[in-house]
Structure 1
Amino acid sequence: MTPDQLFDEIAVDLAPLGATAGAMFGKRALKAHGKAFACLKGDLLAFRLGDSSPAHAEALALPGAELFDPSGKHRPFKDWVALPDTHAEAWPAYAEKALAALEAGGSVGR
């Protein structure tokens, strides 16, 4: 399954929880209440988990994970963790965690 196909599946699965597909910085994104909580950039799916959350630390500890730098200019968003498609099996769970963090107001800022 390609990253785009998995993104589509996650969007469908999270739609009943209020998630919608949209765009952020010209990339495919998942949003709720007008705010993005996941963003697809090539073979990376980034999640807005909140930089002080256990989910953020857990995701960042995965091999190949990195802070999300959508511009590619070494200005990463501290609240966001990008996971490569080698961790695609974990993408749905992290998308749910990011949506929950957004709903709780726990991931504010970049």
Structure 2
Amino acid sequence: MGIQQGSRMLFSDYATDGPMWTGEGRRESRHVIVFAEPFLAKPAVMVGISLWDMDHKSNIRADLSAEEVTATGFHLVFRTWSDTRVAQLRADWTAIGPVRDEDLWEVE
């Protein structure tokens, strides 16, 4: 089994008046993550918010997920909705899955 992990700043919309900060309704920020080394099969991927800066004047609504997971990578997706205002968000991820074991010998 192998483990890979990373961190990704998804957006800083307060600096650019981006949609997570100025918009309303359903909004999505999607990022492609490519593993440094491919796994032998689809790994288990866990994601978590490591930094969030939210406006205190509205309800905090957040959905963070790993989607379209393959042996080579996945989509890191953040969603919010209604009047929630998100200034910035950073997410961390960990992938655990099968990797080639250099101690295994293939006998033919």
Flag whether TM exceeds 0.5 (same fold).
Answer: no
User: Which protein has the bigger helix share?
Assistant: 1
Structure with a larger share of its residues in strand: 2
Q: Which bin holds the TM-score, normalised by the shorter protein?
A: under 0.3
Normalising by the residue count of structure 1, what TM-score does the alignment of the two structures yield?
0.24
